Amino acid sequence: MDQMIDVETLRSRVIAVLEQFGAAPHAAKAVGGVIVDAERDACKSHGLYRLEGCLRVLQSGKMRGDATPTVHAGCGAIVEVEAHHGFSNAAFAAARDTLVARTRALGLAALVIRDCVHFSALWHEVEDLAQDGLAALSMCPSYAFVAPVGGHTPLMGTNPLAFGWPRPDSDPYVFDFATSVAARGEIELHRRAGTPIPEGWAVDRDGAPTTDPQTALDGAMLPFGAHKGSAISTMIELLAGAMLGERMSREALEFMGDGGTLVPRHGALIIAMDPAVFAARSGRDPLAQGEVLLDAFGAQGARLPSQRRFQARAVSLRDGIRLSGSEMAQLEQFEREGPAMFDA
């Protein structure tokens, strides 16, 4: 039976479980925070269901839950943070103030996150930067589950791309999506629910279309937007993999050796821009110009990306988060059994 749980209660329980499985308090707070915030915002594919993958990778010895990120601030436009095999979220938390200050000083700065375990939705980071008045792009490779358009062998990850833009009097404009037709997490949720996936999401090992989630997970996912999504996904491999000297999606899968239960380890790239600095010579107000465009969406009945998410957030903060009986039972099992749970 479904149960309601208060957002902060869920947050402290998830953080406690992560610590029980070996995450240091700063890491548990960062990772637990994004898991609960995703659940709060009704982003189920990167919410509570990802906790198991995080706990399993903590147990696997293929990451460091107690890593303290090292920020290499330098003095130029590139800020680097070495995650030391820890969670990307903890690395971002350690470096975000340096990134913001550098972006304000130079107009544009990039954060390179090195060798991190990355499971999360990217909206969290770009929304955070947009709340501070910055536009931002975030991207990372993933596991190689996606075939290029015209092919059927996975070469690229589900490679997410997110963008945030500050708005003076309302929630920021934020989009965040996998460059596959759907995130892998969505297919996994269909598998668990025993429901077929929509046509066009994936092909089987021979390249034939499939709506069976397990066949899709065993075969290849497809990029969104045919050749256009295929090219954007390739760009992410090149910028957030090859250019950073970090693992690309194929290497991430080979390294972890299990794309089913363990979340991947690779690098990530966040580019932040200060619209005020870019527009300074124009004499125009970039945010006011943005508002003219964004306000016109609602006027024709279109919704903005993240609008559903912000509405879901308001409901969760008011009423709590609805968890299914099996989600609650799994959380209780993590709490009760601790790391011994995965020993068998």
* Residues at the contact surface with ligand NDP, assessed by CB under 6 A: 43, 45-46, 118-123, 140, 142, 158, 160, 162, 175-178, 182-183, 186, 303, 305-309
Dist. CA 334–CA 51, nearest whole Å = 10
Nearer to ligand PYC, 136 or 268 (CB): 268
The entry of ligand NDP, ligand PYC, none near residue 175 (CB within 5 to 8 angstroms by kind) is: ligand NDP
Residues 101 to 140: which contact ligand PYC by CB under 6 A?
119
The entry of ligand NDP, ligand PYC, none near residue 313 (CB within 5 to 8 angstroms by kind) is: none
Contact flag: residue 202 with ligand PYC (CB under 6 A): no
DSSP three-state, residue 295: helix
DSSP three-state, residue 67: coil
Dist. CA 202–CA 198, nearest whole Å = 9
Dist. CA 64–CA 12, nearest whole Å = 21
Tell me whether residue 291 is one of the annotated catalytic residues.
no
Q: Are the beta carbons of 129 and 104 closer than 8 angstroms?
A: no
Q: At what angle do helices 51-60 and 325-337 cross, to 10 degrees?
A: 30
Tell me whether residue 52 is one of the annotated catalytic residues.
no
Nearer to ligand PYC, 90 or 135 (CB): 90
Tell me whether residue 45 is one of the annotated catalytic residues.
yes
User: Residue 152 CB, nearest distance to ligand NDP (Å)?
Assistant: 20
Query: Distances from the Cα of 43 to the Cαs of 25, 130, 183, 277, 306, in angstroms?
Result: 24, 19, 11, 33, 10
Name the residue number minimizing CB distance to ligand NDP. Answer: 121
Q: Are the beta carbons of 30 and 117 closer than 8 angstroms?
A: no
User: Residue 143 CB, nearest distance to ligand PYC (Å)?
Assistant: 6
Measured between its terminal Cα atoms, the distance across the chain in Å is 28
Indicate which single residue of 79, 100, 183, 222 sits in contact with ligand PYC (rule: CB under 6 A): 183
Q: Would you tell me which residues interact with ligand PYC (CB under 6 A)?
A: 45, 119, 142, 158, 178, 183-185, 263-264
User: Active-site residue numbers?
Assistant: 45-46, 186
